């Protein structure tokens, strides 16, 4: 499936160029709403080494490039041409084997990627490996228990390889040496978000996608 996604996103970048449509977002508004909410939640970053893993055309991490050094890795080389033009230091590669030494980055972002990956655990482990102790790993993906996605699934052919429970990603973060996990829950197409250290609220069935962040343990 991986090679199919590589071809798919090369083709998207060929067709849509630097537009967020190349990264398969529903529209500009949903992309910018999600990006702004997640970056606000992450807090202000200055002078940091940041990895945008699966950066696509680089639109998500572009606002961070002014004050930080942002690396972008993706297996779609066509997408990387646009990410480079946005100021990311781009490196073609697969998230299963990142071309970096251990503990390199202050912040690692992986936005909208793991739903395209069947074997997510090795990818989370690889993202955690390159996060420095005390650094932040943030992963955003689709919520498996979303009522809206279940209803859509009745009418649409399956598009993604996987969707996720918040609990399973929290467990995977714990297994990879992260702690102090928090969630940002999003409710497409509505603009509001909610923050929580916990999962399992009844209202989670309305959560369409979520981000999880954790801090890599020191020592
Ligand atoms: C939905 S797009 C999201 C792009 C970007 N993170 C954003 O939010 O704008 C998913 C990206 O992940 C990349 N990707 C998927 N699986 C990958 C893998 N195993 N290794 C490297 N890149 C991958 C795709 O090429 C694509 O650019």
Q: In angstroms, what is the span from residue 80 Cα to ligand 1's centroid? A: 10
Is the pLDDT confidence value at 1 over 60?
no
Residues of the chain above pLDDT 70, percent = 94
pLDDT, averaged across the chain: 92
Q: In angstroms, what is the span from residue 56 Cα to ligand 1's centroid? A: 5
Tokens of 162: 């996987």
| Mean pLDDT for the stretch of residues 113-141 | 96
9 Cα nearest atom in ligand 1: 25
pTM score, whole prediction: 0.94
Q: In angstroms, what is the span from residue 16 Cα to ligand 1's centroid? A: 15
The CA R_g of the chain, rounded to the nearest whole Å, is 16
Name the least confident of 54-68, 89-103, 130-144, 190-204.
190-204
Structural domains in the chain (count): 1
Looking up tokens 């609990």 gives: 167
Query: How many Å apart are CA 122 and CA 103, to the nearest integer?
Result: 16
Residues of the chain above pLDDT 90, percent = 73
- Residue 103 in 3-state DSSP? coil
Domain extent, residue 153, equals: 3-216
Tokens of 189: 């197409």
pLDDT digits (tens, 9 = 90+) for 154-194: 666 666 668 899 999 999 999 999 999 999 998 888 888 88
Q: In angstroms, what is the span from residue 200 Cα to ligand 1's centroid? A: 28
Tokens of 124: 């989370």
Closest to 5 measured CA to CA, from 116, 121, 141: 116
**Ligand 1: which residues within 6 Å by Cβ?**
2, 5, 9, 23-24, 54-56, 59-60, 74-76, 79, 94-96, 111-113, 116-117
Predicted local confidence at residue 160, as pLDDT: 67
Residue 143 or residue 174, greater confidence: 174
What CATH number does residue 20 fall under? 3.40.50.150
Is the pLDDT confidence value at 134 over 60?
yes
The DSSP bridge pattern shows strands 89-92 and 193-196 to be unpaired
Query: How many Å apart are CA 42 and CA 31, to the nearest integer?
Result: 16
CA-nearest residue for atom 10, ligand 1, is: 113
The DSSP bridge pattern shows strands 193-196 and 178-186 to be antiparallel
CA-nearest residue for atom 13, ligand 1, is: 54
Burial of 55 (0-12, 13-18, 19+ CB in 10 A): buried
Q: In angstroms, what is the span from residue 219 Cα to ligand 1's centroid? A: 31
- Residue 51 in 3-state DSSP? strand
Helices 77-85 and 2-16, interaxial angle, to 10°?
A: 50
């Amino acid at each position: 499936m991986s090679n199919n996604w590589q071809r798919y996103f090369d083709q998207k970048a060929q067709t849509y160029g630097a537009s967020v449509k190349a990264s398969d977002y529903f529209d500009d508004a949903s992309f910018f709403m999600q990006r702004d909410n997640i970056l606000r939640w992450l807090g202000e970053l200055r002078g940091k080494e940041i990895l945008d893993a699966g950066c696509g055309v680089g639109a998500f991490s572009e606002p961070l490039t002014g004050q930080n050094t942002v690396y972008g890795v993706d297996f779609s080389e066509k997408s990387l041409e646009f990410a480079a033009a946005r100021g990311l230091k781009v490196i073609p590669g697969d998230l299963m084997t990142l071309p970096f030494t251990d503990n390199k980055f202050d912040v690692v972002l992986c936005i909208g990627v793991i739903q395209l990956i069947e074997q997510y655990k090795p990818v989370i482990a690889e993202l955690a490996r390159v996060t420095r102790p005390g650094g932040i790993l943030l992963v955003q993906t689709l919520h498996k228990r979303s009522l809206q996605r279940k209803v859509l699934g009745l009418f649409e052919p399956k598009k993604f390889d996987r969707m996720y429970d918040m609990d399973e990603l929290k467990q995977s973060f714990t297994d990879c040496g992260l702690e102090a996990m928090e969630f940002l829950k999003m409710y497409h197409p509505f603009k509001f978000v909610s923050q929580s250290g916990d999962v399992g609220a009844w209202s989670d069935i309305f959560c369409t996608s979520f981000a999880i962040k954790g801090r890599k343990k020191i020592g």
